[in-house]
Chain A
Amino acid sequence: MRIEFDIKKRYKDFYLDASLKCDSKRIGILGASGCGKTQTLMSLAGLVRPDEGRIVTDGRVLFDKRSKTDISPGKRNIGYLFQNYALFPNMTVEENIKAAVRGAGRGTKDDAKNKTGQILETFELTGIRSHMPRELSGGQQQRTALARMLACDPQLLLLDEPFSALDTFMREALRLELIRILDRYDKTAILVSHDRDEIYQMCDYLLLLDRGRVIAHGPTDEVFSHPKTLSAARLTGCKNISRIERIDDHRFRALDWHSIELVTGQRIDSKIKYAGIRAHDFCPKANGINVIPTGHTRISRLPFEWYVITENGLWWKIPRTLNEEDICSYVPQYISIDPDKILLME
């Protein structure tokens, strides 16, 4: 499905100005909380009316301020999965799905009954058909909400932080399940999240939002490997960022890392103001280029990895394969960074 939108809307504390043109099937919108992710989805679904703009899916105009087109949410052929799933609390699993089948408004009463039964079966909900939403586990709630959304046979799915209501250990499993369901139904989906792992895992096209504005977009891998701006680097999880003083086309001085001099693979043009190094890109090496003394280090211990923080303030991430006593003696006196792995940002 081809999606094109351009949405502008003034809110009390920020101005939403998001646009996208893409044919990808898995689109991710990544941003910190309050960046306008949910408002963008709401506008697409027709639950919020943009001040200005246009929304087109596969050539069908859903909203256009200029021609005064505004198709109602029920007729947009868009499914919306809410953050807390929003299953109707007064209805059983079966009634929730029946309501959606009814909303799709096709066929007779018997047809509706058959279709409901069919959906219950496909989503393995038959066993819990007469349960109330409050009696369901997080995973069952998500499955019911997905089934309810897909009962209307929407062409585009909007998923608003679908895993934030779940325990960490369930997230992984449910992510895989959601990917499986999306693949089976072959629908286009837009996933909104503040979790970069989630987006990276599920989306092949990425939109980075910061305070209502698109700061980067493109294929997910590309956005992650070459963030072009400071906030894009932060959102994609770059731990080390420093202001720079340009020396020549391939050399700079890092002002926030005790003014060490580093060599880059990429050319430093005059617009570049920041450099970044991902924490896992360093390697222990005492000679060659871009050698950095570690000096007096501090160590941050996480369950499966260590962060070694050098005297220059650089964070170096190493997987936790050694036992804890060893780490201090293991820290080398020098580490280095491959010039090609240094990120340059405006």
Chain B
Amino acid sequence: MDMYPLYNSIRIAFISTAVVLVLGVAAAYFVVRLPKYIKGIFDSLFTLPLVLPPTVVGYLLLLVLGPKRPVGAWFLNVFGIRFTMNWWSAVFATVIIIFPLMYRTSRGAFEAFDGTYEQVGQTLGLSAPYIFFRIVLPCCKRGIIAGVVLSFARALGEYGATMMISGYIPGRTATISTTVYQMWRTGNDVLALKWVLINIAISMVILMAINIVEGRQINVRIKGRA
């Protein structure tokens, strides 16, 4: 059995989660400090991919990055890089799909964070980067970790937008989810079932990881009270 889809899925999920960790946390920190009305606009924009069908995201991506579209064509002519039908093309799709999960969980963490600590930092003459990286982030760590696990889980399951931008090329762009569909479509039930079981196993591990993260949170709370 060719394990390439497993390797490819995990590789895409890792890269996408790493990208989204930076983008999502930055976006959340930015939105939390906006005035109320502008906040609403940015918040809706950043959450939009969560409610859009993945095929719509895929279509919009092709509209920009497709080899015959302006941006895609320019990169193809100037650098010889084609944005579609590569294994890494799926990263574009996955990043957009999982971005809202990371953004929303970290926004929740930042909102719950007591701004007094930042003010103390300011009166003590601490620099803005120090305040962010040494005080705000460590205090919001738990929410951000939860966001990372959730994003990673969703990244592994991405199908619709990935299929549109990366397609299914065995040994090149195949992921677990696209392989399951392809195996079922071609009547290869045994292989489809194997991939389904692998997928379920990975998901179970991730969900248990979430529980551990949250469980630790509960322990800390009880300890804090005593």
What is the interface of chain A, defined by CB distance below 8 A to chain B? 42, 45-47, 72-76, 78-80, 82, 84, 86, 88-90, 99-100, 102-105, 134, 148-149, 151-152
Contacts and interface: CB of A to CB of B under 8 A. Distances in A.
B120 interface: yes
Contacts of A74: 122-126
Contacts of B134: 99
B125 A86 contact: no
Given A84-B116, A88-B117, A99-B134, A47 B124 contact: no
B125 A47 contact: no
Given A80-B120, A86-B120, A88-B135, A103 B126 contact: yes
A90 B138 contact: yes
A307 B223 CA distance: 45
B120 A82 contact: yes
B114 interface: yes
B121 interface: yes
Contact of B114 (A46, A79, A86, A151): A86
Given A88-B135, A90-B135, A103 B116 contact: no
B217 interface: no
B119 interface: yes
Contacts of B224: 134
A86 B123 CA distance: 12
Nearest to B125: A74
A319 B183 CA distance: 91
Given A86-B116, A86-B117, A88-B117, A47 B123 contact: yes
Give the one of B123, B134, B224 with max A CB within 10 A: B123
Nearest to A84: B116
Interface residues of B, number: 17
Interface in B96-117: 114, 116-117
A78 B126 contact: no
Nearest to A100: B124
A79 B135 contact: no
B125 A105 contact: yes
Which 9 interchain pairs have the tightest Cβ spacing?
A74-B125, A103-B125, A103-B124, A90-B138, A73-B122, A80-B123, A103-B126, A86-B116, A86-B120
Nearest to B114: A86
Contacts of A152: 124-125
B210 to A, nearest CB: 22
B122 to A, nearest CB: 4
Contacts of A104: 124-125
Contact of B121 (A45, A75, A76, A103): A103
Contacts of B213: none
Given A90-B135, A90-B139, A148 B123 contact: no
Given A45-B123, A86-B114, A148-B124, 15 more contacts: A42-B119, A73-B125, A74-B122, A74-B125, A76-B123, A80-B123, A84-B116, A86-B119, A89-B117, A99-B126, A99-B134, A103-B124, A104-B125, A134-B224, A149-B123
B128 to A, nearest CB: 10
Contacts of A151: 124
Interface in B118-152: 119-126, 130, 134-135, 138-139
A144 B166 CA distance: 57
Interface in B66-100: none
A99 B123 CA distance: 12
Contacts of A46: 122-123
B124 A82 contact: no
B119 A47 contact: yes
Interface in B130-181: 130, 134-135, 138-139
Contacts of A149: 123-124
6 contacts: A80-B119, A84-B116, A86-B116, A86-B119, A99-B130, A103-B121
A103 B135 CA distance: 13
A76 B116 CA distance: 18
A201 to B, nearest CB: 26
Contacts of B119: 42, 45, 47, 73, 80, 82, 86
Given A86-B114, A86-B120, A75 B139 contact: no
A47 B124 CA distance: 12
Contacts of A80: 119-120, 123
